[in-house]
Amino acid sequence: MAEIVPKLLYIGNLQMGNAYTAPSTSGSYAIIKSINVCNTSTANESFSTNLVLAGNTPGVNNTILSSVVLTGDNTFSYETSIVVPAGASVYLTQASNHLTFTISGVEYNVV
């Protein structure tokens, strides 16, 4: 049996690391539908996101968004449909903690 659940996958201002990991059960996955980033600083800030498969590390071969510059007190919105395989993670990088990320989507869980 399986279930599809709309979900807030992550909200927060992680500076560097895994913000979300898809369920690891074989056959499970998630789909990222939107990534919103809010710059709470008056200065320009930049960020990158990666989709890292289980056992791998972030790098140029798994970058979703690279070195996006967001002007002060502004918001970035990215509508998409990215499949996150079982056990894979969404990895965030920013120079400070002034950017708040909201990542929404759905999870398909095999139970």
Neighbours of 87 (CB within 10 A): 17
pLDDT score recorded for residue 66: 98
Three-state SS at 61 = helix
Three-state SS at 60 = helix
Q: What is the rounded average pLDDT of the residues 99-105?
A: 98
pLDDT score recorded for residue 3: 86
Three-state SS at 25 = coil
pLDDT tens, position by position, 62-99: 999 999 999 999 999 999 999 999 999 999 999 999 99
End-to-end alpha-carbon separation of the chain, Å? 6
pLDDT tens, position by position, 37-66: 999 999 999 999 999 999 999 999 999 999
CA distance 104 to 102: 7
* Residue 31's pLDDT band (cuts 50, 70, 90): very high
